Amino acid sequence: MAHQRNGYWYQSVREGQHVRTVYIGKDEWGLVAACDNERQQERAQERAKLQALAAQEGSGDKAVDAIVAQLKALTDNALTASGYHKHSGTWRKKRKVRK
């Protein structure tokens, strides 16, 4: 985004983790800076649209996650009722105790 200091136009440019200020020019470059600002605003609007779309798709993922959680609970209950137990994340049949 371009900004003006004492009649001179500068632009902040990111290079990796560092931000560098680049000199654009004097007064007549104000128009160029304004065009650059418009381009950045358009990019920000596109980014906001993509984020909104991603949020909508995320709501479908939540519904699937809820169904998966219910299926896991049903499976756990069925295996426990059948005599299995969980050992280190795997299901194993319980041993019969010898007397």
Asked, for residue 92, whether it belongs to a domain, the answer is no
Separation between Cα atoms, residue 18 and residue 89, nearest integer Å: 45
Residue located via tokens 């010898």: 98
Structural domain contains residue 93: no
Report pLDDT digits (tens) over 70-99.
999 999 999 888 888 888 888 888 877 776
Q: What's this model's pTM, rounded to 2 decimal places?
A: 0.39
pLDDT of 70: 95
Asked if the structure places residue 94 within a domain, the reply is no
Give how many domains the chain has, as a whole number. Answer: 1
pLDDT tens-digit readout, 37-53:
777 788 889 989 988 88
pLDDT on residue 29:
63
Instruction: Give the residue numbers spanning the domain of 24.
Output: 2-83
pLDDT tens digits, one per residue of 17-41: 898 888 877 766 666 666 677 777 8
